């Protein structure tokens, strides 16, 4: 199982206009953290809204988040949960942990 660490102090969440990596402050959505853990660089993910925006450069382990109908279906629960301003932080973390676990990714939230 792959390990993914999401640093709360750099986690961009609960906002409608989220980014894999927001250049103005360096914050990332959950899929931004995942993209970095899969080997993409900050420059490659900077100012993109979702993995579909960078589908041509995704590493194999990240394909489930974007390519084809199944990929989009799998990414959207993460995107919607990450950006939902109406849920508690504990519920957000619980849902993100669950969605990633379905794809053999163990999430750990820190700081």
Q: What is the pLDDT of residues 12-29, one digit of tens each?
A: 999 988 999 999 999 999
Q: Report phi then psi at 19, rounded to 5.
A: -145, 155
Q: What is the pLDDT of residues 63-91, one digit of tens each?
A: 666 656 565 667 788 989 999 999 999 99
> Ramachandran region of residue 19, left (φ > 0), alpha (ψ -120 to 50) or beta?
beta
Q: Is the pTM of this model over 0.75?
A: yes
Length reported for the chain: 111
């Amino acid at each position: 199982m792959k390990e993914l660490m999401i640093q709360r102090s750099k986690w961009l969440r609960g906002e409608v206009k989220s980014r894999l990596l927001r250049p103005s402050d360096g914050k990332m959505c959950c899929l931004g953290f995942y993209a970095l853990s899969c080997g993409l660089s900050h420059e490659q993910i900077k100012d993109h809204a979702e993995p579909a925006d960078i589908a041509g450069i995704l590493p194999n382990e990240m394909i489930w988040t974007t390519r084809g109908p199944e990929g989009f279906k799998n990414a959207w629960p993460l995107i919607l949960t990450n950006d939902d301003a109406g849920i508690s932080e504990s519920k957000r973390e619980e849902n993100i942990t669950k969605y990633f676990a379905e794809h053999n990714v163990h999430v750990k939230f820190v700081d």
